Structure 1
Amino acid sequence: MKTEPTIFIVDDDADVRDSLRALLESAKYDVEDYDSAASFLSVVAPGRGACLVADIRMPDMDGLALQEELGRRKIGLPVIIVTGHGDVPLAVRAMKAGAIDFIEKPYDDEQLLASVDRARAMSDSQRAEAASAQLAGERIAVLTPREREVLVHLVAGQPNKVIAHELGISPRTVEIHRAHLMEKMQARSLSDLVRIAMTAGVLPA
């Protein structure tokens, strides 16, 4: 049977790790658990896993510091913080820093699974966006310098005559470049072309 994407657990309490693992595996998730932030950071990489469930209070590096370190490493992993009652203000800080949820101990199984489901959906969306951006970037990379100039003006919504004036070329030449852009960018329409360009990070002139 195919399992769901990997969920990472980081908690220094072995009983908590075992309990979380059993719960998540019962929901068909693949699970990896670690007893410290350092051991997790030694193996995590961009694109791995669906989300991280981390205790807020751990020796050496707590859940908030772990979340910040993931951000510094540009590892876009949704984070769920598990917290004791007295740690709620710290958990709120974690959410302000980007955590998607915090679950108080003793946690409710259904609440935690619902939070993990939301994190997985967010992770799937982030992966799709990253794949779209990579594909768009690959298409941009094959454009000539002049085609890129024309594209920037198209993204700004300028008509052919204005682009021709701005670049010192004829409107007919702009039309030719525009046709090449449509072909190379595999765009079905001008709006599609603009969407792909903006996905690749092209900004208006």
Structure 2
Amino acid sequence: MTVALIDDDSAVLHSMRLLIESRDIPVACYESAEAFLKELPAAKPACVVADVRMPGMTGLELQRELKHRNQEAPLILISGHADVSMAVEALKQGAFDFFEKPYDGERLAASVSDAVQKGRQRSSENVERDDIAERLKGLSPRQREVLEFVASGMSNKQIAAKLNISPRTVETYRAWVMERIGAQNVADLVRKVSAFLPAETK
């Protein structure tokens, strides 16, 4: 996964590219936010570093557009103007970091490395979430019921009484659900499926 660098100043873009590539992180450069957006969603950057003040779309407008498109790559903004209120607003809106020019190259490179790590983790979590959602679709209504009762902390005996079936049948359903979801134990099952369960079962 690459880092997208966006700045209308080609000299700044070049120096940032050298800085980030020195950390063995692949880079893609764009001279405008619009050029970057044209390559989404195919680009899938691990992190986006953008200048705040650019002709056309600004860095803050890009931030809003990425949110609108549900693009979750961490965003680092760079401004050539001392604008504390702008930095605060960007961070409130979820920016990963904010730098003023002239920036400390080592600090920026370290922040990009952290953001890439976070971006990869988020991407991995999204893949797992989509996988779990697909697995849940394969459960029958009864298996789904058993899953929700197990996740709420009920024992096999309690679930059997609730569904008017034998504890042995509950055990069969439970084993099948665990295998289907790919859970090692009940704690792992709850972690994997909690985002998909009704609030009352959590």
Under a length normalisation based on structure 2, what TM-score does the superposition of the two structures give?
Answer: 0.89
Matches within 5 A, 1:22-101: 22-45=18-41, 48-101=44-97
* Contact 1:25/1:31 (<8 A) preserved: yes
CA apart distance, 1:46: 6.7
Aligned-partner residue type, residue 97 of structure 2: D
Determine the structure 1 residue equivalent to 2:178.
182
* Contact 2:151/2:186 (<8 A) preserved: no
Aligned-partner residue type, residue 125 of structure 1: Q
Determine the structure 1 residue equivalent to 2:8.
12
* Contact 2:2/2:47 (<8 A) preserved: yes
CA apart distance, 1:138: 2.7
Secondary structure in structure 2 of the residue aligned to 1:57? coil
Secondary structure in structure 2 of the residue aligned to 1:139? helix
> 1:131 and 1:160 mapped to 2: Cα distance?
31
Of 123, 126, 129, which aligns to 1:127? 123
CA apart distance, 1:81: 0.5
Matched, 1:146 2:145: no
Moved over 4 A (4+): none
> 1:155 and 1:112 mapped to 2: Cα distance?
43
Any gaps of 5 or more consecutive residues in structure 2? none
Report the identity percentage: 44
Q: How many residues align?
A: 200
Secondary structure in structure 2 of the residue aligned to 1:176? helix
> 2:7 and 2:43 mapped to 1: Cα distance?
22
Backbone CA RMSD of aligned residues: 1.9
Of 172, 197, 200, which aligns to 1:202? 197
Secondary structure in structure 1 of the residue aligned to 2:85? helix
> 1:98 and 1:160 mapped to 2: Cα distance?
43
* Contact 1:47/1:75 (<8 A) preserved: no
Deviations 1:104-132 (A, max 9, x none): 10011101101101101101211221122
